[in-house]
Structure 1
Amino acid sequence: MATHNNKIALVTGGSRGLGREMALALASDGNDVIITYHTNQTQADEVVGLIKDKGVSATALQLDSRKTETFDNFFQTLNSYLKETYKEAKFDYLINNGGTALYAPFEKTTEEQFDEIINIHFKGVYFLTQKALPFLNDNGAIVNVSSGLARFSLPGSSAYGATKAAVDTLTRYMAKELGNRGIRANTIAPGAIETDFGGGHVRDNKEVNLHIANDTPLGRVGLPTDIGGVVAFLCSPRAGWINAQRIEVSGGIY
């Protein structure tokens, strides 16, 4: 059974894909976990069950990270849960993972698509983290999720890749300005991973999959399990001197 000495991690978009694996890896390390989901509560509850099977506490809360105007309500709900479960509205690790893909040529990307990507991947991350600060324990950690597409360019990802480059820069500022509280901020940048992200683009399109595998020194496409452990490591005392870094977890592609 979970003791209340456990550290507590909040993983956005933790009901599927990479977020699910991050949540499970954090739980395997003995952390209690709170995941957020956008629409699929059944999927989220399933992940909560898998986390609890590891002997730690878990819950799932609904969040739409595109809509900053909903963040205050989200933190009220989080506040109630933390006080009820731990007597104190504090947690230790924030993993900004939630997001969606956009594959559109530069010349055809609409302003609406652009705004959506900015809101989820940059504005949402910026203000969710800002509002999380009063709840975040000193000596905690923030892990933001970037992408290989911020370093190399593939056609069709101009808005997404540029937004992730903004996250890389933002992370260094977080590290600089939160260091006085002992809070570390790092970014992980996964390469192409086999998930249902972007409609399963990498997983289900054989040509895309083969092309990426051929361009990756380790000879395959990434799996969600390749990523979770890195996030758990960055939240652990073993990574206590890693700060303001962008760590690419991509099998060495390009």
Structure 2
Amino acid sequence: METLKGKTAVVTGSSRSIGRGIAERLAARGALVAVHYATNATAAQDVVEAIGKAGGRAFAFGTELGHEGDAERFWAEFDVQRRAFSDDGDTGVDILVNNAAVALRDHFQDATVADFDRMVAVNIRAPFFIVQHALDRLRDGGRVINISSAVTRLGLPEVIAYGATKGALDSFSRILAKELGSRGITVNVVAPGYVDTDSNADWLRHDKDAWEETAAKSVFGRVGEPEDIGDAVAFLASDAGRWITGQHIDASGGTRM
């Protein structure tokens, strides 16, 4: 299964939940994984240690996204920690997964400028400039995989601003696929649906009725797991995904089909 051996992957927001699932799957397939976190260094180190115990290779680096100059700081810190991990001097990247996001629940009439601006800054501005600042280090034949959301097609009023930022990410990804195609770099979107994550714990894990109702929205009758998304990303990151680009991959388990 070491289909990514010799590759370096960067996964934003991978200290927990879906990001962790992606990081662990990429590492299991042989990639060296850079586990990015915003503020929780301990959680990121837990991921690194779990990957190591499973026979993989990973290191952590931290940068809080959503602020002026975040992309520059992101890659500067990546370089520091990559060189600390190995003195081979290689700071190139083969796989870049933009997973970090802020999902604030605001109905249209209650949405605030502060919430809107925060989600725009993290969910679309940060990925845009992280990729831009990675152009010189992203190797030809590489992969950019942006994590969107099924909310862009479900039309949920309580996440209208969040959905708008993910819709922007979808559009950015399609255009970026044309921009980078001449270098053999694929750009795709993976859109999860309802997934059992830390952020959903309060209303999902501890409420049997909510769990059963959510599970019923998928044609498989279950709630998604971070590993489900990790496997979809790992496929696109592998050589098997070389002829797929500019696509929106629904990874929602057939939610509300």
Verify same fold: TM over 0.5: yes
Identity %: 38
Q: CA RMSD in A?
A: 1.7
Cα distance in 2 between the residues matched to 1:108 and 1:126: 27
Is 2:30 aligned against 1:30? Answer: yes
Cα distance in 1 between the residues matched to 2:176 and 2:200: 28
Query: Judging changes above 3 Å, is the alpha-carbon distance between structure 1 residues 218 and 51 closer, same or farther for their aligned structure 2 residues?
Result: same
Cα distance in 2 between the residues matched to 1:34 and 1:120: 19
Is 2:45 aligned against 1:52? Answer: no
The counterpart of 1:128, out of the listed 113, 117, 130, is: 130
Alignment: residue pair count = 251
In the TM superposition, residue 205 of structure 1 has moved relative to its aligned partner by 4.0
Q: Which structure 2 segments of 5+ residues have no match? A: none
Cα distance in 2 between the residues matched to 1:169 and 1:122: 10
Q: Secondary structure at the match of 2:230?
A: helix
In the TM superposition, residue 68 of structure 1 has moved relative to its aligned partner by 3.9
Is 2:233 aligned against 1:231? Answer: yes
- How is 1:87-102 mapped onto 2 (pairs within 5 angstroms)? 87-102=89-104
Cα distance in 2 between the residues matched to 1:232 and 1:67: 29
Does the CA-based 8 Å contact 2:16-2:43 persist in structure 1? yes
In the TM superposition, residue 50 of structure 1 has moved relative to its aligned partner by 1.3
Code of the residue aligned with 1:99 in structure 2: it is A
Q: Secondary structure at the match of 1:64?
A: coil
Query: Judging changes above 3 Å, is the alpha-carbon distance between structure 1 residues 69 and 32 closer, same or farther for their aligned structure 2 residues?
Result: same
TM-score norm. by structure 1 comes to 0.93
Query: Judging changes above 3 Å, is the alpha-carbon distance between structure 1 residues 65 and 205 closer, same or farther for their aligned structure 2 residues?
Result: farther
Cα distance in 2 between the residues matched to 1:207 and 1:133: 47
Query: Judging changes above 3 Å, is the alpha-carbon distance between structure 1 residues 154 and 61 closer, same or farther for their aligned structure 2 residues?
Result: same
Query: Judging changes above 3 Å, is the alpha-carbon distance between structure 1 residues 207 and 102 closer, same or farther for their aligned structure 2 residues?
Result: farther
Cα distance in 1 between the residues matched to 2:217 and 2:57: 40
Per mean C-alpha deviation after superposition, the further-off stretch among 244-253 and 209-218 is 209-218
Partner of 1:79: 79
Does the CA-based 8 Å contact 1:193-1:203 persist in structure 2? no
Cα distance in 2 between the residues matched to 1:47 and 1:12: 13
Does the CA-based 8 Å contact 1:91-1:135 persist in structure 2? yes
Query: Judging changes above 3 Å, is the alpha-carbon distance between structure 1 residues 17 and 243 closer, same or farther for their aligned structure 2 residues?
Result: same
Cα distance in 1 between the residues matched to 2:53 and 2:82: 20
In the TM superposition, residue 112 of structure 1 has moved relative to its aligned partner by 0.4
Query: Judging changes above 3 Å, is the alpha-carbon distance between structure 1 residues 106 and 199 closer, same or farther for their aligned structure 2 residues?
Result: farther
Cα distance in 1 between the residues matched to 2:63 and 2:94: 19
Per mean C-alpha deviation after superposition, the further-off stretch among 218-227 and 169-178 is 218-227
Partner of 1:162: 164
Detail structure 1 runs of 4+ shifted over 3 Å in the superposition.
Answer: 80-84, 198-208
Query: Judging changes above 3 Å, is the alpha-carbon distance between structure 1 residues 203 and 169 closer, same or farther for their aligned structure 2 residues?
Result: farther
Does the CA-based 8 Å contact 1:83-1:89 persist in structure 2? yes
Code of the residue aligned with 1:135 in structure 2: it is R
Code of the residue aligned with 2:66 in structure 1: it is R
The counterpart of 2:190, out of the listed 188, 211, 220, is: 188
Cα distance in 2 between the residues matched to 1:187 and 1:68: 25
Partner of 2:11: 11
User: C-alpha deviations, 1:52-71, integer Å up to 9, x for none?
Assistant: 22333311111212124132
Cα distance in 1 between the residues matched to 2:157 and 2:207: 16
Q: Which structure 1 segments of 5+ residues have no match? A: none
Query: Judging changes above 3 Å, is the alpha-carbon distance between structure 1 residues 252 and 34 closer, same or farther for their aligned structure 2 residues?
Result: same
Cα distance in 2 between the residues matched to 1:75 and 1:66: 14
Does the CA-based 8 Å contact 1:234-1:242 persist in structure 2? yes
In the TM superposition, residue 113 of structure 1 has moved relative to its aligned partner by 0.4
Cα distance in 2 between the residues matched to 1:176 and 1:160: 25
The counterpart of 2:174, out of the listed 162, 172, 176, is: 172
Code of the residue aligned with 1:9 in structure 2: it is A
Q: Secondary structure at the match of 2:228?
A: helix
